[in-house]
């Protein structure tokens, strides 16, 4: 049975840019839907249920951030992967986009080649996660995590982690390649403990790296994404 092409919704008020992106996506074999404002984007997303949304931050009327939030709140499309596009270089826009639920971001001006690479990576990641059953263990380059027993080993040697360090490690390892802000990691590891400062995450990441990384100056597991936060390295690389 022939595999159906991934279906992508492109949302931007610049029609020439939408056409350029659509043309190149279709050349790669993707099926493309187009929307030029937030309201239209939500309608198409809900009616067509695409496999990915490329969403511009600056839209007339309803902004891209709000569109992203509404998608995440809609049970019918809440898991839809989103690549946020912004013309701004300010890190606050990238952080807000990720906190609102975007899975990746790209800053204008960008090359078509870079955009296609991001699209392939996000689609591949989500298709893989959709096929997978919940795992009891995770293994990558000598690191092994047993989610049931909370046992972590490096090349067979047991690593002692605090409960918080284990939470951070498992959270990142279960979503390799995806960038998380300090606040997102904070919410997962500390829950409602709102008195904890986001920079506390940096301290725990340093301790965690000291226990699992061979060279903390060049970590192979937990990567820093400057201006944003952290991610577990992309295991497809």
Residue ending a domain, among 131, 159, 189, is: 131
Phi, psi for residue 9 in degrees, rounded to 5: -100, 120
Handedness of CA 212, 215, 217, 221 (dihedral sign): negative
Predicted local confidence at residue 2, as pLDDT: 45
State the total domains in the chain. 2
In this structure, what CATH number is given to the domain that contains residue 143?
1.10.10.10
37 pLDDT exceeds 80?
yes
Report residue 28 as tokens.
Answer: 């790669």
| Pair (23, 119) in one structural domain | yes
Lowest mean pLDDT among 25-29, 43-47, 130-134, 138-142: 130-134
| Pair (91, 198) in one structural domain | no
Residue ending a domain, among 107, 131, 155, is: 131
From the number of C-beta atoms within 10 Å of its C-beta (0-12, 13-18, 19+), residue 78 rates as: exposed
118 occurs within a structural domain: yes
202 occurs within a structural domain: yes
Residue ending a domain, among 131, 146, 180, is: 131
Handedness of CA 11, 13, 14, 15 (dihedral sign): positive
| Pair (56, 152) in one structural domain | no
- As a whole number, the mean pLDDT across the chain is 87
| Pair (100, 160) in one structural domain | no
In this structure, what CATH number is given to the domain that contains residue 120?
3.40.50.2300
Predicted local confidence at residue 136, as pLDDT: 84
Write down the residue that tokens 């990567």 correspond to. 223
Average pLDDT over residues 168-184: 91
- Asked if the peptide bond before residue 14 counts as cis, ω within 30 degrees of 0, the response is no
| Pair (149, 95) in one structural domain | no
Say how many Å lie between the first and final Cα of the chain, rounded.
29
| Pair (11, 127) in one structural domain | yes
- List, in sequence order, every residue forming a beta bridge with 55; answer none if it has no partner: 11, 84
Phi, psi for residue 182 in degrees, rounded to 5: -60, -40
**Measured distance CA(105)–CA(98) in Å, rounded:** 8
2 occurs within a structural domain: no
pLDDT-derived band at 1, boundaries 50, 70, 90: very low
Query: HEC states along the chain?
Result: CCCCCCEEEEECCCHHHHHHHHHHHHHCCCEEEEECCHHHHHHHHHHHCCCEEEEECCCCCCCHHHHHHHHHHCCCCCCCCEEEEECCCCHHHHHHHHHCCCCEEEECCCCHHHHHHHHHHHHHHHHHHHHCCCCCEEEECCEEEECCCCEEEECCEEECCCHHHHHHHHHHHCCCCCCEEHHHHHHHHHCCCCCCCCCHHHHHHHHHHHHHCCCCCCCCCEEEECCCEEEECCCCC
Lowest mean pLDDT among 31-45, 91-105, 136-150, 201-215: 91-105
Predicted local confidence at residue 151, as pLDDT: 92
- Greater pLDDT, 128 or 45: 45
Lowest mean pLDDT among 119-123, 130-134, 143-147: 130-134
Find the radius of gyration of the CA atoms of the chain.
19
From the number of C-beta atoms within 10 Å of its C-beta (0-12, 13-18, 19+), residue 75 rates as: exposed
Domain that holds residue 22: 7-131
């Amino acid at each position: 049975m022939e595999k159906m092409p991934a279906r992508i919704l492109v949302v931007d008020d610049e029609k020439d840019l939408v056409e350029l992106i659509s043309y190149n996506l279709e050349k790669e074999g993707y099926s493309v839907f187009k929307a030029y404002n937030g309201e239209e984007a939500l309608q198409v997303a809900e009616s067509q249920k695409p496999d990915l949304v490329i969403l511009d931050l600056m839209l007339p009327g309803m902004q891209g951030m709000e569109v992203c939030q509404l998608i995440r709140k809609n049970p019918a499309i809440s898991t839809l992967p989103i690549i946020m596009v912004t013309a701004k270089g300010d890190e606050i826009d990238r952080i807000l986009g990720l906190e609102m639920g975007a899975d990746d971001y790209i800053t204008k001006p960008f090359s078509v080649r870079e955009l296609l690479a991001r699209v392939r990576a996000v689609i591949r990641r989500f298709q893989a996660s959709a096929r997978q059953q919940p795992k009891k263990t995770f293994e990558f380059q000598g690191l092994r995590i047993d989610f049931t027993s909370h046992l972590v080993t490096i090349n067979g040697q047991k690593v002692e982690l605090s409960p918080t360090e284990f939470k951070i490690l498992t959270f990142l390892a279960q979503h390799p390649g995806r960038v998380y802000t300090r606040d997102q990691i904070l919410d997962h590891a500390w829950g409602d403990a709102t008195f904890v400062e986001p920079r506390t995450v940096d301290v725990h990441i340093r301790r965690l790296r000291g226990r699992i990384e061979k060279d903390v100056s060049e970590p192979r597991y937990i990567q820093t994404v400057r201006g944003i936060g952290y991610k577990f390295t992309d295991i497809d690389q």
